[in-house]
Chain A
């Protein structure tokens, strides 16, 4: 007994001292880095700086962390055909997945350096906030509160969408205006839940909403007749109609009740990483405008057009401020092609989803896809 207590009395002050020490240390550690400090942490071309951890970790280090790790952790959906969907071998495809690959190619020159983290609607934001993923590329709507109070920054819009309804043909419903009193299935933690409330309030109609955590559950509840309608982004409706027992028994109603600009997002406070993600997206869109494709990117290196040369890094040093090589955009384009190619390959009219470009066409072709110039 006496020996026990003497052992304890030797260990305890040590532990206690450690804890108190940590507490005191906390006071003297530098506060959150602000402004200028951030920039100096990662000079253009600087070697990756692994091992910077702890509360004083300077912002601007996502790129360093990603490089040290050797791959990008990309948050995607748990399965939405055309956007991010795993096949039976675990290979991911979709426009959101292609974007992850484009960023990996821009950073590493190798599009395969990505690990996908499937996230349902409810968990995606916590995963990004906590640093579990470096980038969320998961049909996520850009809204003000997500941008301002959840601590995120959206890099742009990869797909202009809007919310719609799916109903059974047999119900005889042809317009959302006939949904007064209906029960509607949806997924929890989405903008969908809020738009639904807004729409029915605005139309002075009553409704019952049944939100499920997992999308499959919401869809199967609708399929089983627990709900009269299923609602989500129109793109999602088209994709999910295909996985119902008998797709032809269901129709998408013509009304689009909201604006859903879907885009990739990152944590706020790391301007360099944000710029990398944003300009990768812009480069993909600019490339379509300039006619640069995955097939002709190498020929275009010698193009006479200064715009193309700047994009592909044969003129100017546009990669350096991002902390990347000057061929960053060329690497991305070689891997996934330009925006138009990504669209047609994953969701376009020749795919099972069969979605026309519509709003997502280039601004020159009557859409709203428009990227600032690289210069």
Chain B
């Protein structure tokens, strides 16, 4: 290739290099300017603060943390709390969204209407207001721990959240888990074998029943012969609140509820659109072949609808994760609250803290996009 301005490929290359250079120079310019300004204002810079002692407490820590831990550790605590609520929120929102989306298309008038009302209410009210509603209007006015409502025997709901017995291990836990894993492996093997046999000979095998017996029976035997594999440690009432047991904070509950219900409304619409995009002819053809309605949905409609559903579903999942940063408004210690809130304020290093926080959300989002794109490629139409 010879250098020539009339060669479009050459021109494109020059523009691209120039654009890249301009971006880099601009970024460098901003960084240098920020650095100079910070130095002039005597504001500490750099990432050394991550090793300093945090000195503040956090109400929910999934990893060991104390006031003596470092700011870096506090960052991880916040990150874990964000990931927890985002992961559970995603799972619940997708499940609920599918159910509501399908319900909107139900031939049952009442169910379809209820689903419509759900979608139209939830997606039209700002999420922050919904969080306030769940937290300040529903969960906080609950009675105090001493007058807790009993949800199930041993499980209590109060304005301090849900508390339930802790599940503890016993000497036979290991044997139990081992048996369970073996049983699952066996069940998978039997399933494969039964499917292969059906394809080969057309004979059916009661896979479901046999596998259920294996999965429940084998570990159950251990439970009977040895001893209970798990022990329950119920919470006891202390001076202020229940002590011991497992607890779910009301802040977490409100955030999870809010994120799930809000996002599910959007997902429901996506699912409905996806299902409607599959031509009626497909359903009719499936019925003509003798497939039941359930089978038609599972084997014909949904696999084709997924192609339409997955790309916008990805956006909704990303939204849910980013919306989880509203946590700070209701006191849930997520990444933004702990790190971009308390740590930023304590250290004053706004640029570093915000840069790290943005990078974290970017990385999480890119990872999810990447995973969803892989999945999308799997469900997409395979060209022949």
Contacts and interface: CB of A to CB of B under 8 A. Distances in A.
Interface of A: 5, 12, 15-16, 19-20, 22-23, 26, 31-32, 55, 59, 121-122, 125-126, 129, 145-146, 149-151, 180-183, 188-189, 193-194, 196-198, 200-201, 207-214, 217-218, 220-221, 224-226, 228, 267-269
A228 B11 contact: no
A351 B197 CA distance: 89
5 contacts: A16-B18, A32-B39, A151-B42, A225-B144, A226-B159
Nearest to A34: B40
A19 B25 contact: yes
Given A149-B347, A180-B239, A224-B159, A209 B57 contact: yes
By Cβ-Cβ distance, the 3 closest A-B pairs, closest first, are A150-B348, A189-B345, A151-B43
Interface in B231-271: 238-241, 243, 250-251
B238 A23 contact: no
A37 B345 CA distance: 32
Nearest to B342: A188
Contacts of B345: 121-122, 125, 188-189
B280 to A, nearest CB: 43
Interface residues of B, number: 53
B346 interface: yes
Nearest to A200: B57
Nearest to B41: A151
Identify whether the interface residues of B are mostly helix, strand, loop, or mixed. Answer: helix
A272 to B, nearest CB: 15
A219 B22 CA distance: 50
Nearest to B11: A5
Identify whether the interface residues of A are mostly helix, strand, loop, or mixed. Answer: mixed
Contacts of A214: 329
Contacts of A59: 40
Contacts of B346: 145, 189, 194
Contact of A23 (B28, B37, B136, B350): B28
Given A19-B26, A23-B28, A26-B29, 20 more contacts: A12-B15, A15-B22, A16-B21, A26-B33, A32-B36, A126-B350, A150-B44, A151-B43, A151-B348, A181-B241, A182-B240, A183-B160, A183-B240, A183-B241, A189-B345, A193-B57, A209-B59, A211-B341, A268-B41, A269-B41
Contacts of A196: 56-57
B110 interface: no
Interface string B58-102: 110000000100000000000000000000000000000000000
